[in-house]
Amino acid sequence: MDAAVWGLLAGSAISLGAYSVLIGDNPISKLTENIYMGILGGYIFATNWDFIQKNAITKVAGGDYVYILSIILSIMLLGRLKSEYLWVSRYPVVLTVGVGLGLAMRTSVMADFLGQIQATLLPWTSLNNLVMVIGTVTAAAYFIFTAQSSGAYKYVNTAGRVFLLSAFGVTYGQTVSFRFELVIGRLVAMLDPRVANYTYVMILIIAVVLIFGYTTKRIVWYSGR
Amino acid sequence: MSIINKLLNIDQRIIYAALFIALAYPILSPVMLPMDIQGYSQQAFDFSDSIPEGSIVIFEGGLGAATYPQGGPGMVVQIYHMLTKGVKIVFFSIGTEQNFWTVRAIETALGKLPPGTPAENGVDWVHLGYVAGGEAGVGSLVNDIRATITSDYYGTPIDDIPLLEGVNDASSFAAVLWWGGSEGSMPYGIRQISVPFGIPITGMSTTNEVPNFSPYISAGQLQGIFGGVRGSAEYEYLMRLPGPALGQAMATNFGGLLWMILVILGNVFYFIQRTRGEE
């Protein structure tokens, strides 16, 4: 059996364990959750350590001493691990947030503000353009809370609400579709002809373990609807 | 309790089981339903196809274990598309896990290339690996590559990579291809690369993120987008490279149909229940 098949098998076992939470919170789902978090935590740590080693420690060793500052700031972050040193970790956090905010603000006026306004100033020559202009204006007007919803403004308010609800509907539909795609992604791997039979056996094993646990009351049955 | 009440209070585990069957059936017995190419996908494809031969693009690989099955097939096609056109690619990832999946997509695409296609590591493409720092990391990378990283994913020093000779910031790139998956990071590419350097951007996001990015498309800041597994399937179709995404898109259709029926039935039953004055 090659490494790819072992990978598929491991993925299948972890996925089934994780999905068993749909029946109810149970020891198998807890176990897979902890295994996944442990592996992911280790992987993230190793990758970040590699990044620091290659791009900070190596540079310092090569005589580029300005990078000592970034190493010191990184170590200061570890102050979070002990409450009495929490204040030490706040300085690198403040610096990171400040730099991030500054970089984002540098162009966000163009990217997220002016560009969007320009895109709304469309000629009223097609239905699409009309929907875009009216939808944007009425949806923005819906959030003017100081104006009383009466007279002509009441219709603007209602139209804004209808456009907002339509947008929420689209987002909801897209989110449902995204969740399906996540499940399908796992199903494709789990039902791969090379491991499908093992997957069916694992489903059977999980079912037997859970039925045994529930009937002997060793696992508490999930009571919520 | 009336039948309608019972149906409205049905155990959600029955719905999960029904959904499992609806999603698994098309995978076990592939079915093809008619599919149109969405405007956003066509726009992203046309833009990608217009990138001139010999130019260099910067490519963010942001797909993880959860999102690779839906975006991975499209990402593989995008890499294939660029390399067969003679466009050179500079990859990087802003996520640790995503870095691993980017390597996988590169290897899969290289395995699919027609014999003789130039695809030498360091010459036709390079993977800079994981870049820490999120948006600040992207800003740093595209303003000074050498100050941000010292070597590529495979450990080759930046100065020894022929493709990066004379390349140290984003002004050398012709386009940004941002396969951000569910990172929600596409605005990083727009804010840090596209707007300051005036470089057009396209890419992929998961289906749920598409509405968030559609204002950027309307504003002309984003050149279309491949949304989720359907976007990947459409890219496979447009490139005449049938792959795993087409089958998965069909499974999504089945799940969507069942979900739509359940939503309609739920609303109809709720309406009947209310007109009867039941709680």
What is the DSSP secondary-structure string of B31-48? Answer: -----PPPHHHHHHHHHH
Report pLDDT for B153. Answer: 93
Collapse the DSSP code of A91 into the 3-class scheme (helix H, G, I; strand E, B; otherwise coil) and give the result: helix
- CA A137 to chain centroid: 31
Q: Would the CB atoms of A225 and B255 count as touching at under 8 Å?
A: no
Mean pLDDT of B261-276: 90
- Tell whether B184 lies on the interface with A, counting CB pairs under 8 A: no
Q: Give how far Cα B237 sits from Cα of B103, B231, B247, B279, Å.
A: 23, 10, 12, 50
**Burial group, residue B78, by CB count within 10 angstroms (0-12, 13-18, 19+):** buried
- Assess whether pLDDT exceeds 90 at residue B29: no
pLDDT at A134: 93
* Tokens encoding B27: 């995978």
Per the CB < 8 A criterion, the answer to whether A174 and B211 are in contact is: yes
Q: Let me know: does A210 contact A20? Beta carbons within 8 Å.
A: yes
The answer on pLDDT for B278 being more than 80 is no
Sketch out chain B's domains with CATH numbers. 39-248 (3.40.50)
Q: Which amino acid, residue B270?
A: Y
Note the helical H segments in A20-151: 27-52, 58-61, 68-77, 86-108, 115-120, 127-141
Quick one: which of B43, B42, B92 has its CA closest to B222? B43
Distance from CA of A43 to the nearest CA of B (A): 8
* Pairwise pLDDT comparison (B183 vs B65), residue with the higher score: B65
Sheet architecture: strand order including B201-205: B125-130, B88-93, B56-61, B175-181, B201-205, B226-227
Q: Let me know: does A45 contact A51? Beta carbons within 8 Å.
A: no
- Tell me which chain B residues have a C-beta less than 8 angstroms from the C-beta of A108: 191
Question: How far is the C-alpha of A135 from the C-alpha of B248, rounded, in Å?
Answer: 34
| Contact list, A99 vs chain B (CB under 8 Å) | 136
Q: Is the pTM of this model over 0.90?
A: no
B109 touches chain A (CB under 8 A): no
B187-214: average pLDDT = 92
Q: Long-range contact list for B100-104, CB < 8 A, 24+ apart? A: B100/A43, B101/B61, B101/B63, B101/B64, B101/B65, B101/B68, B101/B72, B102/B61, B102/B63, B102/B75, B102/B127, B103/B127, B103/B153, B104/B68, B104/B72
CA distance B203 to B177: 5
Minimum distance, in Å, between the CA of residue A128 and any CA atom of chain B:
11
**Rounded CA separation A71/A51 (Å):** 12
pLDDT, tens digit, 9 for 90 and up, residues B130-176: 999 899 999 999 999 999 999 999 999 999 999 999 999 999 999 99
CA distance A190 to A195: 7
- The residue of chain B with its CA nearest to that of A22 is B13
- Give CA angle at B17 (B16, B19), nearest 5°: 65
Q: What is the distance between the alpha carbons of residues A219 and A216, in angstroms, rounded to a whole number?
A: 8
What is the average pLDDT score of chain B? Answer: 91
pLDDT for A225: 40
B50-65: average pLDDT: 94
- Whether the CB-CB separation of B233 and B248 falls below 8 Å is answered with yes
Average pLDDT score over residue span B19-36: 82
The model's confidence at residue B243, banded by pLDDT at 50, 70 and 90, is: confident
> Does the structure's ipTM exceed the value 0.90?
no
CB pairs under 8 A between A and B: 153
Q: Which mean pLDDT values do the consecutive 10-residue runs of chain A (225 residues) have?
A: 87 90 84 92 91 89 90 92 93 91 85 84 88 92 84 90 93 90 89 90 88 79 52
Measured between beta carbons, which residues in chain B are less than 8 angstroms from residue A103? 135-136, 139, 191-192
Q: Which two tokens stand for residue A81?
A: 């691990």
The pLDDT of residue A222: 58
User: Which tokens hold the place of B10?
Assistant: 């049905």
